[in-house]
Amino acid sequence: QQQVKQSPQSLIVQKGGISIINCAYENTAFDYFPWYQQFPGKGPALLIAIRPDVSEKKEGRFTISFNKSAKQFSLHIMDSQPGDSATYFCAAPATMTTDSWGKLQFGAGTQVVVTP
């Protein structure tokens, strides 16, 4: 089974600071790397995703950086706010076959706490 390794397990950042979460993956049949955000008691929701014909994607305060040669990608949360306090999951395609229909394998999650 392919694994997606996510770190750190948790982090605490002050309001206005930068949160950085890293993920490493094994081989994938296609390049698609989403990040999901989950608030307590809720289901995960797509936050941002990258298809690495580019090495970086930015949406507002959230940026994905991708390093294909290292098989790593990361999420940066700039100007972190208390409302960003949540658990973040990275994901990568789970199958090696080109006829994959979209199974994702998720990292273990990072709990982010933004202090006022």
Partner 1 sequence: DAGITQSPRHKVTETGTPVTLRCHQTENHRYMYWYRQDPGHGLRLIHYSYGVKDTDKGEVSDGYSVSRSKTEDFLLTLESATSSQTSVYFCAISEGQGIDTQYFGPGTRLTVL
Shortest reach from residue 16's CB to partner 1, in Å: 28
CB 86 within 8 A of CB 39: yes
Sign of the torsion angle spanned by Cα atoms 42, 40, 9, 113? positive
Which residue lies nearer to partner 1 by CB, 76 or 106? 106
Shortest reach from residue 116's CB to partner 1, in Å: 26
Shortest reach from residue 56's CB to partner 1, in Å: 18
Sign of the torsion angle spanned by Cα atoms 112, 105, 93, 107? positive
Which residue lies nearer to partner 1 by CB, 40 or 116? 40
What whole-number distance in Å separates Cα of residue 38 and Cα of residue 86? 6
Q: How many CB atoms lie within 10 A of CB 114?
A: 20
Cα–Cα distances in angstroms (integers) from residue 38 to residues 43, 46, 88, in the given order? 6, 9, 6
Which residue lies nearer to partner 1 by CB, 97 or 116? 97
Shortest reach from residue 30's CB to partner 1, in Å: 7
Which residue lies nearer to partner 1 by CB, 43 or 116? 43
Binding site for partner 1 (CB under 8 A): 1, 4, 6, 9, 30, 32, 34, 36, 41-46, 49, 51, 89, 93-94, 100-109
